Amino acid sequence: MGVETMASIDALRKESSNPLRILLVDDRIGVRRYTSSNLGKLGHQVLAAASAEEAIELLEQHAFDVALIDVVMPGGADGLFLTSRIHQEYPLLPVVVYSGEELADLKDKAERAGAFDFVQKPFDLMDLNRRLLGAVAEHVRAERGAGSAAKEPKARGAGRKKAKASTGTLRQRTDEVERDQILSALEAVNGNRELAAERLGISDTTLWRKMRRLGIGFKPSCGSS
């Protein structure tokens, strides 16, 4: 691990002054180990499940601050099914879903299932950490705004009263984040789309499609070398 990476983790650890209890759900053991390890380095407590069934068992036994769920999992109980169930039975538990799929309506499906946020893979640890923290903070604000008392998830006697998110739709929020990431990448390489795509971990064609969908027209800075 390089010095720059260690510095980034140290900065994130300071940012995560309130460690989260995270439920991670992914059918791939490599992803579970990698993501759990990196989130653990930031001070978060992570319990991982390989399926929706395992996740439901963990929800009945433990209290969590946020759930991080892969959309695509084998069998009938995929990530969207699990998200919907959590939304119904644990309405005070925010869900962040992620996927490497480029389906046009995936964000809409995730929002309908009750997801708070959607992360496109491959995700960046800094971005993922901030979005997990943001999901929890937004739910706390929404709950306070509704005038309800703070409650734990079902494992600690949570009620069924639903807290409403206060700012925009999932698609709007994720589009804003994605737009900012693309603009930052383009600015860092003076508008070179091929290099920007490499920094983002996607193909040049995929970046072009995203820029077109988000209405991004980037002009290189004249003073850049």
Note whether 53 and 81 are same-domain residues. Answer: yes
Strands 66-70 and 95-99: parallel
| pLDDT of the residue at 101 | 78
Predicted confidence band at 18 (pLDDT cuts at 50, 70, 90)?
A: confident
Domains identified in the chain, total number:
2
Q: Is it true that the peptide bond before 122 is cis, omega within 30 degrees of 0?
A: yes
Count CA atoms within 13 Å of residue 167 on its CB side.
11
* Across 1-9, average pLDDT: 40
Q: Are residues 117 and 187 in the same domain?
A: no
Judge whether 73 and 84 are in contact, CB under 8 Å. no
pLDDT confidence band for 208 (50 / 70 / 90): confident
Q: Specify the higher pLDDT residue, 100 or 201.
A: 100
The answer to whether position 204 is within a domain reads: yes
Q: Does residue 78 lie within any of the structural domains? A: yes
What residue type is assigned to position 154 of the chain?
A: K
Q: What is the pLDDT of residues 116-159, one digit of tens each?
A: 999 988 888 888 999 999 999 887 776 666 554 444 444 333 33
Question: What is the β-pairing status of strands 66-70 and 117-120?
Answer: unpaired
Range of the domain at 207: 179-214
Report the pLDDT averaged over residues 1-19.
Answer: 48
Please report how the helices 79-89 and 106-113 are oriented relative to each other, as an axis angle in degrees rounded to 10: 30
Candidates 39, 34, 33; CA nearest to 15 is 39
Q: Do 117 and 199 reside in the same domain of the chain? A: no
Rounded mean pLDDT of 28-33?
94
pTM (whole model) above 0.85:
no
